[in-house]
């Protein structure tokens, strides 16, 4: 019997460089496995904070396993659920 593979979500984000302190927005996302019921919050130009609130909810169970800032205004996150 095969073991169940973890669900993964990769999120690229950026801020508006012309507005200091602007919110981080999703530029792209990729789901490997299942990210229900949070798929609607992973849309391009959506708020990163909204997507993370959904994914990291105790009932959903995603955890950030890697984060990297690629510049002062952009970066990416990898979340995993077992």
Task: Name 79's Cβ contacts closer than 8 Å, sequence gap at least 6.
Answer: 8, 9, 10, 11, 55, 56, 62, 63, 64, 65
- Give the pLDDT confidence score for residue 47 in this predicted structure: 98
Low-confidence ranges of the chain (pLDDT < 70): none
Question: Model-level pTM greater than 0.85?
Answer: yes
pLDDT at 34: 94
Q: Is the distance from CB of 6 to CB of 80 less than 8 angstroms? A: yes
- The strand pair at 7-14 and 63-71 is best described as unpaired
- What is the per-residue pLDDT for 2? 78
């Amino acid at each position: 019997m095969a073991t169940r593979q973890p669900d993964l979500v990769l999120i690229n984000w950026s801020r508006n460089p012309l507005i200091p302190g602007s919110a981080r927005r999703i530029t792209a996302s990729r789901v490997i496995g299942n990210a229900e019921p949070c798929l609607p919050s992973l849309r391009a130009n959506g708020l990163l904070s909204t997507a993370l609130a959904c994914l990291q909810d105790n009932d959903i169970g995603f955890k950030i396993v890697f984060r990297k800032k690629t510049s002062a205004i952009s970066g990416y996150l990898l979340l995993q659920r077992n």
